Amino acid sequence: MKSIQLTYEVNPHTMAIRPAKEIEYSAIVKEENQTLYIRQTPLQIIKAACLEGGSTYEGRRKAVTHLTGAIQKVPIPINPRRNIFAFPTHSPTAFECNWIFYHHIKSIVPSHQSNTIQTIIHFKNQQELPMNESYYLLEKQYTRTAMCVLQYSTQGKMRAHPMLGM
């Protein structure tokens, strides 16, 4: 029997959060060494994680839109200080939206299977995550998130630079 948790706290081991069509739980969390079943929805988990990271989900989303120009499927810097960034595969309010955590991705490759699996995400720990989304969409989201990571890392360096008097 699956162990089901009421809530989940995003951490550096979180690799993906997927929606679940189950009565007992609403999200499946893939960590480096385990899979967890959570009552919260994926978006509830992401919003709670943003608050833990020092801002609201809406605030993070608005900041990324301002910095990158992305309006839809905006990558979210959940906790930039801990290097936790994630991107949605669909509109975050859509049931089928998965959240993929940027720093765990090794590569994204098109699937050559004939069924509905279009893409496979290879994680750095050798695990794979088959996805129904197109290679193009996931690659675009990965690139957008890389821009977001870069924006946050250069901002932090500029603020901390002693010659700038900040």
Is residue 20 classed as helix, strand or coil in its secondary structure? coil
pTM for the structure as a whole: 0.90
Write the pLDDT tens digit of every residue in 74-115.
Answer: 999 999 999 999 999 999 999 999 999 999 999 999 988 767
Write the pLDDT tens digit of every residue in 122-162.
Answer: 999 999 999 999 999 999 999 999 999 998 886 555 444 44
Tokens of 47: 């919003």
**Annotated domain spans of the chain:** 4-164
Q: Which of 68, 67, 99, 106 is nearest to 84 (CA)?
A: 99
